[in-house]
Structure 1
């Protein structure tokens, strides 16, 4: 049929040429679009570069410029470095004591932490971890070996204990300066929380406070402590608190269980003179005042108002021929200051004595009959046994009634 033949034959070239024309037109449109997009992008860049910039709102500007020193000592890398450096010097300490119970004498196991002070085996810890002088303890070293140790010095008032093991070639930790630390500095604690199953656990935080007083702890009034939010748990006691340089700035001792992030350490500067003398001579003896006394705040809880705002130590008795007697200290005097240090409690006064040696002279400020007086006190080799609590109270209470 003719119409079909024309469509399939002569009309096909026409159809073919139409198709080529349409395709060429599509390419032109596509290239036009591409050049338009490129031109728009270039124009935007030029406009952005050469047009004036809008002013930044004052509220969006940083309020504090970053410090020039780009070293951030609280970064995780520092904690990692301190941990790797200090870990070989941290030890586990286990003790075994016998306690009388309803079932008879029973062995009680305890554990805590400590750290190496010298290459020849001196180890520092807490008194409540190692016990009294002469006690035997077991020390677990970083290489998992055990050594028997002996407590060569211990003081419950300061909660410090020094252990000696017969071993050489140990890696000691360097002591820092706890008087130069600041609130906000990095603090790293290493110890054995909840026993030796979690030995050498590392926690980190900052120094949260200085010269803290936390009341009755382990039977003592603990004061002058470093506060940190680095986690300290049972078993951490006796372990080191370290600064960002890996130096010991404190001995971890206690945590307030009723709150989170409240751990406390004994400043290392408190322990330094003791440690040095024990390591040199094998023992340490502090000077003695030759007096008995009680914390004013504790006495005032019995109903007395001593007029010092709860501060100071009231003298309950003075021993003859003692430095206290020679300085003119009397019963009922309230010791407010020794040297440059304000005295808050009897335990603090005892700790203050560790700073002095025989021959040293110090000013002691006392409240006497409502007035302040300054006495000149010179320490000697005088040593006197502690007056018992009942004897001290017998002397103290009658004096208050006069």
Structure 2
């Protein structure tokens, strides 16, 4: 009896020792992070342990695939609506005679199936050039009419076509820093439908673009900043959100700086297009004042409100008819605060000719409200 008990105790001791050695082996000689269940399974299923797997790598891969799928879906959806803009120019050589050459100079996108295309005005500003657009499938159309709005750097091109695929507009007023931004364009004037991906790096930026060759510089107000790379030839192309909606018109990149590019907010383009569809030409709303913006810093130093200081009122303008005076400070338009991020011109660009608006004005420290109807910019 005693011998049986002794054998049982020794057997139990050896069994426990085996288990101890096994566990030490698992935790000391398992640098690869293989799960406990997997090890037991490899040992022949000695124990019935629920298997758990380290899914970190698999989850990461799945997230990458989903992200890439989202971008490719946007590109597949929008690319047919993006066009390359080509210009033909003519030269005359005293020895070889006249010659012509074509070059890709920019990008545009289709906004009406009958053949209306949005791009930058600086892309098509050569009045002596002959312009055409090339679709993704290689189909080429001559540009028949060009309508420029040099103030916003937006142009509307007309071609004769039918059933063209169009883009969908988003809402640039609701952009968030850090959200996805996708740019499609004719990079370097050679590579059609080049795609770059980044994020919205900033909103309501103000930049000054050099005109070059003695041309005047241009100030862009309230533009979108993105780190999606833009190259020469991308100008006029769409900046898209992750839903494939246009949130901006690519316009400029900063020379000498990586990953800093800019786009005109699409909400500044919408009233231009709406006015064109109604009038058949680009019309801009007109207030009739000369002004300077009072920034927060100036306001603090001078004890003034932030807003647009009126330095002159144009005779026979909506501003004069409404009673605005030199020295008035426009604080708000339709309850939209004017400040460093939204100037008077930027705020007005969101309205159309004929819109009735209400201004909140500081006149010698007294707040007054002025109502007026926006008119069309007088033709010269």
TM-score scaled by length of structure 2: 0.70
Quick one: distance in 2 between partners of 1:135 and 1:340?
A: 44
1:200 is aligned to 2:193: yes
How far off is 1:363 after superposition? 2.9
- Residues 340, 214 of structure 1: CA spacing in aligned structure 2 closer, same or farther, 3 A cutoff? farther
| Residue of 76, 80, 98 corresponding to 2:72 | 80
Post-superposition CA distance 1:118-138 (Å, at most 9, x none): 211111111111228998522
Quick one: distance in 2 between partners of 1:213 and 1:187?
A: 19
Q: Where does residue 254 of structure 1 map in the other structure?
A: 252
- Residues 224, 145 of structure 1: CA spacing in aligned structure 2 closer, same or farther, 3 A cutoff? same
The answer as to whether partners of 2:226 and 2:261 remain within 8 angstroms in 1 is yes
How far off is 1:47 after superposition? 11
Q: Where does residue 161 of structure 1 map in the other structure?
A: 155
Cα RMSD after superposing both structures: 4.0
The answer as to whether partners of 1:286 and 1:353 remain within 8 angstroms in 2 is no
How far off is 1:98 after superposition? 9.0
How far off is 1:83 after superposition? 1.5
Quick one: distance in 1 between partners of 2:206 and 2:302?
A: 21
- Residues 327, 276 of structure 1: CA spacing in aligned structure 2 closer, same or farther, 3 A cutoff? closer
The answer as to whether partners of 1:188 and 1:242 remain within 8 angstroms in 2 is yes
Note the 1:79-228 alignment, pairs <5 A: 79-95=71-87, 111-131=105-125, 136-195=130-189, 197-215=190-208, 219-228=217-226
How far off is 1:324 after superposition? 0.7
Count of residues in Structure 1 that have an aligned counterpart in Structure 2: 319
How far off is 1:380 after superposition? 5.1
| Secondary structure of residue in 1 paired with 2:271 | helix
How far off is 1:296 after superposition? 5.3
How far off is 1:279 after superposition? 2.8
Post-superposition CA distance 1:273-299 (Å, at most 9, x none): 2213323431232332123334557xx
Q: Where does residue 275 of structure 1 map in the other structure?
A: 273
Quick one: distance in 1 between partners of 2:268 and 2:64?
A: 29
How far off is 1:165 after superposition? 0.7
The answer as to whether partners of 1:324 and 1:377 remain within 8 angstroms in 2 is no
Q: Where does residue 4 of structure 1 map in the other structure?
A: none
1:321 is aligned to 2:316: yes
Q: Where does residue 37 of structure 2 map in the other structure?
A: none
Q: Where does residue 290 of structure 1 map in the other structure?
A: 288
Quick one: distance in 2 between partners of 1:204 and 1:162?
A: 26
1:244 is aligned to 2:242: yes
1:266 is aligned to 2:259: no
Q: Which structure has the larger Rg over C-alpha atoms?
A: 1
Q: Where does residue 26 of structure 1 map in the other structure?
A: none
Quick one: distance in 2 between partners of 1:383 and 1:257?
A: 34
Moved more, 313-322 or 130-139: 130-139
TM-score scaled by length of structure 1: 0.67
> Greater share of helix residues, 1 or 2?
1
The answer as to whether partners of 1:212 and 1:225 remain within 8 angstroms in 2 is yes
Q: Where does residue 214 of structure 2 map in the other structure?
A: none
Quick one: distance in 2 between partners of 1:148 and 1:224?
A: 33
Question: Unaligned 5+ residue runs, structure 2?
Answer: 1-14, 24-39, 50-55, 92-98, 212-216
Quick one: distance in 1 between partners of 2:184 and 2:196?
A: 7
| Secondary structure of residue in 1 paired with 2:113 | coil
| Secondary structure of residue in 2 paired with 1:292 | strand
